[in-house]
């Protein structure tokens, strides 16, 4: 299939490579641009672990601090792999679900042994901090990056959806990894008057909240991966 890749870079390229390895044709259209912040992080004295809910959080942290010894608790495979690539010595991997991340931290860490640090983006899908504080943890959350939403589709993608030009009807599916990306897609399709031209396009979503953000569109189908990670999403497209 010819698949619209809406992830921001550099994750878009990683995902596109995985798509090509399975015989699909990726069409790049990142709907968010990641903008790391310039700020000063704490000394991490008295902290027992770092928590990351995205690979972008890992990258932003690694650009601001040389701390690599504290254990890392990563929400899913992508963020865990990113942490390993940046040299973090101890990385515990979740399945991709924030609620499961909280449970994982509760199993491994004692609230009395120190604070947690959450390197986050400006827009959060869930309140990890509140959930952990209810379990007795002290957690410091810092916004390490912003995700700037795209304001319009490229001409190439508009042609592919509208049927103009040489790329007419080439997009057969679109992939979505976050509710915000999905909401941005909805806004852009309506702004470009493309929302009525998506009847032959299937949406492949990382989770149910992502899928819910697309419900106002008349897509051929809105499908959800069995688990909230890239491998499960790829398997969904293979099926």
Last residue of a domain, one of 125, 148, 171: 148
The count of structural domains within the chain is 2
126, 170: one domain: no
CA-based nearest residue to 12, from 183, 209, 20: 20
Q: Do 144 and 38 lie in a common domain?
A: yes
Q: How far apart are CA 75 and CA 53, in angstroms?
A: 5
Using DSSP's 3-state secondary structure scheme, residue 198 falls into coil
Which H or E element spans position 36?
strand 32-36
Same structural domain, 97 and 44:
yes
Same domain, 175 and 129: no
Clarify whether residues 54 and 107 are in a common domain. yes
Domain limit, last residue, from 118, 133, 148: 148
Instruction: Provide the pLDDT for residue 125.
Output: 61
Is it the case that residue 165 has pLDDT exceeding 60?
no
Q: Is the pLDDT of residue 48 over 90?
A: yes
For residue range 72-127, what is the model confidence (pLDDT) as tens digits?
999 999 899 999 999 999 999 998 888 899 999 999 999 999 999 999 998 776 68
Spatial contact of 94 and 101, defined as CB atoms under 8 Å apart: yes
pLDDT in tens, 183-234: 999 999 999 998 888 998 999 999 999 999 999 999 999 999 999 889 999 9
How would you classify residue 135: left for phi > 0, otherwise alpha for psi between -120 and 50, otherwise beta? Answer: alpha
pLDDT > 70: what percent of the chain?
96
Tokens of 119: 């390197």
**Residue 134 and residue 45 share a domain:** yes
Point out the domain boundary residue: 86, 113, 148.
148
Angle between helices 55-64 and 77-85 (to 10 degrees): 20
* Same domain? 131 vs 63: yes
Range of the domain at 69: 34-148
Same domain, 135 and 218: no
Q: Are residues 133 and 159 part of one domain?
A: no
Residue 178 maps to which CATH number?
3.40.50.10090
Which tokens sit at 5?
């890749």
Peptide bond into 10 cis (omega under 30): yes
Position 126 scores a pLDDT of 62
Same domain, 43 and 144: yes
Angle between helices 230-238 and 11-21 (to 10 degrees): 40
Task: Write the CB contacts of 136 (distance below 8 Å, at least 6 apart in sequence).
Answer: 111
The reply to whether 10 and 55 lie within a common domain is: no
pLDDT at position 131, please?
A: 92
HEC string for 78-124: HHHHHHHHCCCCCEEECCCCHHHHHHHHHHHCCHHHCEEEEEEECCC
Q: 52 and 76 share a domain?
A: yes
Phi, psi dihedrals of residue 27, rounded to the nearest 5°: -120, 115
């Amino acid at each position: 299939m010819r698949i619209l890749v809406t992830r921001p870079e550099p994750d878009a390229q990683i995902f596109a490579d995985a798509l090509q390895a399975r015989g699909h044709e990726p069409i790049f259209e990142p709907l968010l641009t990641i903008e790391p912040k310039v700020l000063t992080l704490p000394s991490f004295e008295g902290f027992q672990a770092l928590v990351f809910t995205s690979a972008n959080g890992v990258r932003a942290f690694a650009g601001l601090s040389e701390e690599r010894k504290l254990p890392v608790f990563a929400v899913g495979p992508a963020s865990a792999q990113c942490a390993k690539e940046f040299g973090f010595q101890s990385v515990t991997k979740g399945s991709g679900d924030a609620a499961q991340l909280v449970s994982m931290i509760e199993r491994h860490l004692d609230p009395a042994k120190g604070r947690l640090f959450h390197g986050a983006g400006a827009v959060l899908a869930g309140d990890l901090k509140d959930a952990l504080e209810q379990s007795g943890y002290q957690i410091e959350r810092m916004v390490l990056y912003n995700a700037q939403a795209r304001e319009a589709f490229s001409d190439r993608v508009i042609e592919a959806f509208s049927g103009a030009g040489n790329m007419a009807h080439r997009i057969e599916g679109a992939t979505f990894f976050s509710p915000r990306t999905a909401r941005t897609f909805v806004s852009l399709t309506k702004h470009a008057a493309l929302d009525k031209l998506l009847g032959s396009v299937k949406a492949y979503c990382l989770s149910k909240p992502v899928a819910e953000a697309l419900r106002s569109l008349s897509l051929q189908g809105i499908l959800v991966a069995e688990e909230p990670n890239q491998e499960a999403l790829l398997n969904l497209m293979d099926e």
